[in-house]
Chain A
Amino acid sequence: MNSIKIENYTAEFGESFILKNINWTLEPEQHWVITGTNGSGKSALSAILAGAGEKIEGTITGLPGHIEIVSFEAQAELIERELKKDDADIMDVISEGTPVREILEEGKAIYPEFDSKLLNELVAMFKLEHMLDRSFRKLSTGETRKIMLIRALANNPDMIILDEPFDGLDADSMQLLHNLLASKVDAISMVLVLNRFDEMPEFITHVAYTDKGELHHTVDINDKQAYDDLYQLLHLKTTDLSVPPTDESDRPPAINPEDPLVRLTDINVAYGDSKVIQGLNWSIKPGQHWQLSGPNGSGKTCLLNLITGDHPQCYTNNIFVFGMQRGNGETIWQIKQYIGYVSTALQWEYRVSISLRNVIISGFHDSIGMYTKSTDKQKEVADQWLDLLGMKDRANEPYNQLSFGDQRLLLIARAMVKHPTLLILDEPCLGLDDINRQLVLALIEKICASGDTTVLYVNHHAEDQISGIKEYKQLEKLSAE
């Protein structure tokens, strides 16, 4: 068998779905799982191997001679065919339709490699002998699915495409099928479409991930890190995301809803003779999500630090935050209790060996590391966040041994854990790979939509836009004077 090469391939499926610009190579001996959210194009991607879709451009080369596909669509097609047969048979008797045995043996005449012995074995294995003479049309969905699987395997193809093969199968049948597929891996290349990673058979060597009609990632299963990231991403995409509740007993004093959260008046910041910010005015009202952008050196981080109290010149400017006019005896901890904050600088500074759970809990205390005892409620909330991030089983692992992307995710959870009045995300996706970037963006969108937090989002990348943000502030670099 040759390698299959799909290059710059775009195809239409009906009027509403397009699979865009696919580049994908499947080597012999590889067994793939295609995964993605509902509607992401994973079935379509598998189906183009079997010739489905209307090609707009691109090439597919190296396809093996005999490919079998078992999918919901193929199943529907077969049932449709049976119904048509019924219609065509205009006789005044009730048609029984094609018996199961005939459906199963259809391949015998077409494929020289058809394996009658295997067919019988499989029928016995799935205990379907008693149905062989029944009408295919009258089978239940699960039974139909089994028949299709058996038929595809008995046809003894070079490649088999199984779209959600485990859907609707009971546990025993699922196990049987697993074993069966495993016994065939040397003879047949497998491409499985799966929603869930926990159903992934052990013989799978590669995973493809689709999103919005594009093939986003292909991951070698032995690349543990990439695999884990993908697992998390899928987990996040397919879980019904909701932002966990917070510890309501630990809320900062309420602020007057008429006041802006932040009001900066005629802000000036300079280092020696070089001015970074000059005469800036800005207000952030509750519920008003903002995106802040500007070139390097335009003072974005400086501006944020004035708000968070981390910039020493906050004491020489007219800054009103969360009901406090700065420089009147308030402490930075009084201000920080209203803010959740994520930035690359924070990640550099957050170098501690505490557990993942405690990293999230530290968000309640605005501390780097944990210096006070956590309450049961805080632990409970933290665990819900870990669950959301797909890190539930890793609560006690040390934070400093995580990948960069996982650390970032955890710090976002840390920033959100107290449902801050203002969530500041300073280039939250900086340095993240594509998988992790999507993960973070998905999380932020949920947070924006959740209600009680106002988001201030700093970003360069147009493609990382967040739905829900309507206000934009652009900073310009001050010209040297």
Chain B
Amino acid sequence: MSNNYFNTLPLREQLEQLAKCRFMSMDEFSDGVEALKGKKLVVIGCGAQGLNQGLNLRDSGLDVSYTLRAEAIAEKRQSWKNATENGFVVGTYEELIPTADVVLNLTPDKQHTPVVEAVMPLMKEGACLSYSHGFNIVEEGMQIRDDLTVIMVAPKCPGSEVRAEYVRGFGVPTLIAVHEDNDPKGEGLALAKAYAVGTGGHKAGVLMSSFIAEVKSDLMGEQTILCGMLQTGSLLCFDKMVEEGIDAGYASKLIQFGWETITEALKYGGVTNMLDRLSNPAKIKAFDLSEELKVIMRPLYNKHQDDIIDGTFSRVMMEDWANDDKNLLGWRAETAETPFEKTPAGDVEISEQEFFDNGILMVAMVKAGVELAFETMTAAGIIAESAYYESLHETPLIANTIARKKLYEMNATISDTAEYGCYLYNHACLPLLTDFMKEIKTDVIGKGLESADTGVDNARLIEVNAALRSHPVEAIGSVLRGHMADMKKIV
């Protein structure tokens, strides 16, 4: 059974690996795809990431084919259709893996162990194995043959966006890493960089990280602010509005599309800009609520981070894997039965500004979640760049999925690992906020502040603005968004 790799490392090295994260400069990619030119790239799995990364790599002049399990080919499953209809060569592991110079493992986390165990013996001497998530290496302690190079290239967006941005002539922010225990020829970095160029990622910004930093920050972000907080927030806000007599259709719509709208402001200008969208009295209200929420929820964030760092989370989750996902499937079914999930968005017009004005509590929840996740990650030794990407940066992406089809869509889009963590968070957070929610009225969720008087105390406003702007997530955020804008040059 698994052997947590991180826990085998001495503390000194754990800290060093956690702190790895560097924003790479564009001129580090001047070799383009050269390191992969003429090499044979074989992708395992043809889901959204597998297919779309493969399309990009091929359009960048690289030789890409797909390997699927024999059953998937024989039964002409969706993955087989995806690959063949796009004109790729498809073959079994036995047919293609021995010919591969680079094997791109783009299967779901859960399948990593059996997949890697199946392909490793077939791999050519000195070939490269690439991951897009380090769970298998870090949490399951998968041991890779010494002659193989192990790298990670992880576009920080859903597969469809990886493709769409490439076709536009751009790319998506991408994280790369080399597993130092498996870099026998010292070519890991060159391969990872060429891979990032092949998917267009270099145009949008590349973070050089480590397997460990990627896993520990990714798990933390997805469980807490990204999915957990949005799920808990959706359920609580909906129930409160209905309880206070607000039309259920309106409440459903305000939440379903509200997360997307308010986090759009977050994407452009951080927490500061998101709160700047509120009137002064509403901003102060949201600030106060979020301070309260942070005090209540901080122990929960700490617990999630601790369980992730020491491997408790992955151990417990893997027990559920072994138990045919009993918990996961049960929780998924429970979510589908919640009133928010079952109430369709009403046919009412809600203006962009109204989502802010009537969703003060939602703004407060996003602020509290982003800041707590960031603070907890950096306190655990994860460097600010990683913590930013895994909290604030990805929140709008997840919010978009809720806008499409509510929590069902969110949980269907994210990995099973993220979904499992999301339910854990939700179960713990709901009771934690019971008392807090008792005090909540429609002025902060559903109707907006009643008073027409928008006057505020100067000193208090200055204090709140200063606190917002001086938070560390805002400092690193403005630097990284600046890099992005430099690269994007959308004038």
Contact = CB atoms under 8 A, between A and B. Distances in A.
Given A271-B85, A312-B55, A371 B60 contact: no
A365 interface: yes
B81 A312 contact: no
Given A312-B55, A367-B168, A370-B491, A329 B38 contact: yes
Interface stretch (B223-231, B381-389, B482-490): B482-490
A349 to B, nearest CB: 8
Contacts of A332: 59-60
A256 interface: no
B481 interface: no
B9 to A, nearest CB: 39
B61 A331 contact: yes
Interface in A325-372: 329-334, 349, 352-355, 358, 362, 365-372
A312 B85 contact: yes
B377 to A, nearest CB: 30
A272 interface: yes
B168 A368 contact: yes
Interface string A300-331: 00000000011011111000000000000111
B331 interface: no
Nearest to B203: A371
Contact of B86 (A313, A353, A362): A313
B303 interface: no
Interface string B346-381: 000000000000000000000000000000000000
A373 B485 CA distance: 12
Contacts, number: 65
A354 B169 contact: no
Contact of B168 (A316, A353, A369, A372): A369
Size range of the chain B interface in the assembly: 20 to 34
A371 B170 contact: yes
Contact of B59 (A309, A354, A358, A362): A309
B59 A371 contact: no
A323 to B, nearest CB: 15
Contacts of A354: 490-491
Contact of B491 (A272, A355, A366, A368): A355
B37 interface: yes
Interface residues of A, dominant DSSP: loop
B413 to A, nearest CB: 22
Contacts of B55: 312
Given A314-B87, A331-B60, A332-B59, A358 B491 contact: yes
Given A272-B85, A354-B491, A367 B170 contact: yes
A362 B59 CA distance: 20
A237 B59 CA distance: 41
A329 B39 CA distance: 11
B82 to A, nearest CB: 10
B61 A371 contact: no
Nearest to A314: B87
B240 interface: no
Contacts of B88: 312, 315
Nearest to A316: B87
Given A312-B55, A366-B169, A272 B489 contact: no
Interface string A270-312: 0110000000000000000000000000000000000001101
Contacts of B69: none
Interface in B50-81: 55, 58-63, 81
B489 A371 contact: yes
B487 to A, nearest CB: 7
A372 B490 CA distance: 8
B213 to A, nearest CB: 28
A290 B55 CA distance: 30
A332 B62 CA distance: 11
B59 A370 contact: no
Contacts of B490: 352-354, 369-371
Contact of B169 (A271, A334, A353, A368): A368
B8 to A, nearest CB: 42
A370 B489 contact: yes
Given A316-B87, A370-B490, A371-B203, A329 B169 contact: no
A329 B37 CA distance: 8
Contact of B170 (A330, A355, A369): A369
Nearest to A313: B87
Nearest to A367: B169
Contacts of B86: 312-313
Contacts of B203: 371
Nearest to B198: A331
Contacts of A309: 59
Contacts of A358: 491
Contacts of B62: 329
Interface in A399-418: none
Contacts of A314: 87
Nearest to B86: A312
Contacts of A367: 168-170
Contacts of B168: 349, 367-369
A314 B59 CA distance: 11
Contacts of B58: 315
A362 B170 CA distance: 12
Contacts of B63: 329
Interface in A175-197: none
Given A312-B86, A313-B85, A349-B167, 20 more contacts: A272-B85, A310-B167, A312-B85, A315-B88, A316-B87, A329-B38, A329-B61, A330-B61, A331-B61, A332-B60, A334-B61, A354-B490, A354-B491, A355-B491, A365-B169, A368-B169, A369-B168, A369-B488, A371-B489, A373-B489
Interface of B: 37-38, 55, 58-63, 81, 85-88, 167-170, 203, 487-491
Q: Which 8 A-B pairs have the closest CB atoms?
A: A367-B169, A312-B86, A368-B168, A316-B87, A332-B59, A331-B61, A313-B87, A315-B87
6 contacts: A312-B86, A331-B60, A349-B168, A362-B169, A365-B169, A370-B490
